[in-house]
Structure 1
């Protein structure tokens, strides 16, 4: 694979300016090797009004939305087709299944594209988590950044596997009911809803990134909106010490070891700390794994962590842009650059075991 080093920055288009899209756009703007070509949407509500207030180049998803967006005073440049002509890579952050209609447009435009985890693996033919398979994505036409929960699974189990400790993993996921911004639109109240089959989709999805994983997941939707929580039982290849296990987790810059004994025993407190540390929107890009809950019984390992589903896929998406654009051949170098731009890891003073 010939690595391209462009004289200019990678021009990135973001389609869908919602929960994920606005975060991707902000992250792109922080990269010294990238430029935000524009954001495209079909909405005319406050989200696009904020984009306009921020001075972002706004494009309409189609001709009909171009007219409606301009009718409310949004400074729309042109349609998505025009944006695609100005970009090197497009990141589709539209709601689940909407991307299926956009993919033919990307292929017709001859542009490399990134999908999010709500879409099927087959739509891109490749699924991505930077620490596991960055090199495999180099020069691909398309990839799919897997879902928030799947990303967390690949990060944590991948760290154990690289340390030679992982044999098989069984996990239970408590999935938040919806995004905070949609909490007023209905959802779970005073109930829990188990997913209807075992395994839930996250385990098989993790295998699209790392086929060697022996993983089974179960999931339950719960009536809160802050974050997901995972509880894992891992069978290791041998009995290991706590220090060995924690050392394995520390090999990932995108796993933050937290301590409930520091007052961080609940997801709302962790999110509060992210805001106090100045993280945009109180985002936790890392897997927040409770170090003092890690338990060993012979060759069995038990651990619990939280997943900020609005944030965890953002660094992965930035790395995927570099991989598809073929501007950085080394995954570790890309990860380090992305981490620096987003303030990963947490300051040493609030990280356990640093």
Structure 2
């Protein structure tokens, strides 16, 4: 790869994150999709054939079953790694940690996601905070959907000099929509047994200075996550000052219940109307007309699309690892333009 050649990106795992990363990579002028790796033999990989995207098998043992299912397999993971500059691992939780040893042995840069622990790469990534510290590294971990939203919003307040400490309650979707027929909860609520829940400590893996505690509960729906936050500010502030702090981030979109966006299903419908691929909500959708400021206390709520929010940060992580002179502002602007992120939804 020379300075002007596109980065050749391999994607291992073509699930809800993998398919979205693939589409986002193909939308970037400085990246090229080298191929997709998986083991599935059902409907999930068939759209790739029609798009002319090369499909590889994760292991030699899976080649025959995949070909018998009618998939034109181009080779195995090891072969694809030799044709790529970087691999984004989108495999299920804990699988990527094992795959990391393969990537290191091949000398290939790699990205894992929030299902893995910080220790897998020794670096946790949110573009607006840890881009520069990722530049030139061999690997990074793009944190989970909820952690990404926490870091984005609290960083906006921190940069405005307003953040003292934050306490959040997370209402977590039960499962992904496409597999809700396979499991999930019904007619109950399941609290995460530990306080703090894991998202608060995870946010500190990106920014150790954050004073943040989270609590979480799993709820019986599949659309998205919903967060409620109580923040102690460093001083008394006006509502408009707080909103300006959030507006400073292109990846926080202020919405209004008064415009009819009163629930998470209406926001997902708006994404479909905007023509977003897979109805993706890349931004934190934060209700500005719900937000309240009482002297030095702040209260607000927002929606997190767990299938989409990490996609722009993954694209930025690719540039950070592969671009020796990469800058966060330039990468974020380039990613935003390619994905249609403007800081406004309507």
Asked whether the two chains share a fold, i.e. TM above 0.5, the reply is: yes
Alignment partner of 1:166 is 2:154: no
**1:115 equivalenced with 2:112 (yes/no):** yes
Contact 1:90 1:112 in 2 (8 A): yes
Shift of 1:5: 5.8
Matching of residues 120-131 of structure 1 within 5 Å:
120-131=117-128
Alignment correspondent of 1:316: 313
Distance in structure 1 (CA, Å) of the matches to 2:147 and 2:16? 18
Q: Deviations over 1:54-107 (max 9, x none)?
A: 211100000011111112120110000010011111000001111122111101
Match of 1:210 in 2: 207
SS at match of 1:234: strand
TM-superposed CA distance for 1:238, in Å, is 0.2
Q: Secondary structure at the match of 1:248?
A: helix
Question: Taking structure 2 as the reference length, what is the TM-score of the superposition?
Answer: 0.98
Q: Which moved more, 1:187-196 or 1:65-74?
A: 65-74
| Count of paired positions | 346
**Alignment equivalent of 1:41, drawn from 22, 38, 43:** 38
User: Structure 1 residue 294 and structure 2 residue 291: aligned?
Assistant: yes
1:53 equivalenced with 2:50 (yes/no): yes
Structure 1: stretches of 5+ with no match in the other structure = none
Structural RMSD (CA)? 1.1
- TM-score, normalization by structure 1: 0.96
CA–CA separation in structure 2 for the residues paired with 1:147 and 1:213: 17
Unaligned runs of 5+ in 2: none
Q: Is the 8 A contact 2:42 2:69 kept in 1?
A: no
| 2:67 counterpart of 1:70 | yes
Give 2:217's aligned residue.
220
Cα displacement (A) at 1:7: 2.8
In the other structure, the counterpart of 1:261 is 258
Please give the per-residue CA displacement for 1:248-287, whole angstroms capped at 9, x wherever unaligned.
Answer: 0011100000000000010000000110010111110000
Q: Which runs of at least 4 in structure 1 moved beyond 4 Å after TM superposition?
A: none
Matched, 1:184 2:158: no
Give the corresponding residue for 2:274: 277
Are positions 1:329 and 2:326 aligned together?
yes
Alignment match, 1:152: 149
Query: Does 1:87 pair with 2:80?
Result: no
